[in-house]
């Protein structure tokens, strides 16, 4: 059997990758429809606008129903052997209903937890199939910001490990956001709002070493609060 030349082999790999992307395009579009309502619902819950949060959660429920009808029994190839997929099909609608009930019961905190669990589970399902989208990277960035946020108030500069830990967590958040920037499409990277958030994170992080060197808790507080604002907007728009 004759071996394929390097150019032919590369062309076949590119064709396979293109076919795989085409196969996932409707799946990703249906999932993004769910995620769009999910993001807005979380935003409304964060600002305690319960009525509008309920509207978005209800629309999310409908979007998930459409997704499950199309892809519940007929999965794209990368998900066919994914054992987490069936669990997701059961968990997500249950958590959506839980979120709606908790909003009506006046417990937006539990509703937020239910929606956040959906976000994490969907990311885990994709990653178990070797797939990652920008929203999953933003999820990682949010987790890195949570780790840095513990230093928002009065860090104990007397502890030897405090300064190095703050620096490491700031570097971790910066690396996560930089990775998301690299994952974004060319059009999104050129988008003014996306650039404002990503570049804003980089600008704010540049002040962290200054705050550490000066042992300036007030400066660190202001920087971390500003970073949290950027982080919330990244989640609201792209998470």
Owner of token pair 């992307």: 21
Region of 130 on the Ramachandran plot (φ > 0 left; ψ -120 to 50 alpha; else beta) = left
Is there a common fold for 6-131 and 135-238? yes
pLDDT of residue 32: 93
Fold of 135-238: 1.20.120
Report which DSSP code applies to 77.
G
> Can you tell me the mean pLDDT for 121-136?
95
Separation of CA 71 from chain center:
22
pLDDT in tens, 142-173: 999 999 999 999 899 999 899 999 999 999 99
Confidence of residue 19 (pLDDT cuts 50, 70, 90): very low
Tell me the two tokens of residue 191: 């988008």
Mean pLDDT of 78-84: 93
138: pLDDT strictly greater than 70: yes
For the chain, which residues make up each domain, given as ranges?
6-131, 135-238
With CA atoms as reference, report the closest residue to 72 among 99, 58, 92, 55.
Answer: 92
* Whether the Cβ atoms of residue 157 and residue 215 lie closer than 8 Å to each other: yes
What's the topology of domain 6-131? 1.20.120
Q: Which of 121, 113, 111 is nearest to 51 (CA)?
A: 111
**How many other C-beta atoms can be found within 10 angstroms of the C-beta atom of residue 113?**
14
């Amino acid at each position: 059997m004759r071996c394929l030349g390097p150019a032919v082999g590369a062309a076949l790999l590119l064709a396979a990758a293109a076919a795989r992307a085409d196969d996932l395009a409707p799946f990703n579009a249906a999932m993004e429809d769910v995620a769009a309502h999910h993001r807005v619902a979380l935003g409304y819950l964060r600002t305690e606008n319960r009525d509008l949060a309920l509207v978005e959660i209800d629309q999310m429920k409908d979007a998930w129903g459409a997704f499950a009808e199309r892809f519940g029994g007929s999965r794209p190839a990368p998900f066919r052997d994914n054992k987490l997929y069936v669990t997701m099909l059961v968990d997500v609608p249950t958590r959506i209903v839980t979120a709606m009930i908790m909003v009506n019961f006046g417990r937006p905190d539990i509703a937020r937890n239910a929606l956040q669990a959906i976000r994490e589970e969907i990311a885990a399902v994709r990653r178990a199939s070797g797939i990652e989208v920008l929203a999953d990277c933003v999820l990682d960035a949010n987790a890195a910001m949570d780790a840095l946020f513990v230093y928002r108030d009065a860090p104990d500069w007397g502890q030897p490990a405090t300064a190095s830990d703050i620096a490491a967590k700031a570097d971790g958040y910066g690396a996560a956001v930089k990775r998301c920037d690299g994952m974004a499409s060319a059009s999104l990277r050129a988008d003014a709002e996306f650039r404002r958030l990503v570049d804003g994170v980089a600008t704010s992080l540049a002040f962290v070493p200054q705050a550490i060197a000066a042992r300036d808790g007030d400066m660190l507080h202001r920087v971390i609060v500003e970073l949290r604002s950027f982080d919330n907007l990244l989640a609201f728009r792209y998470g």
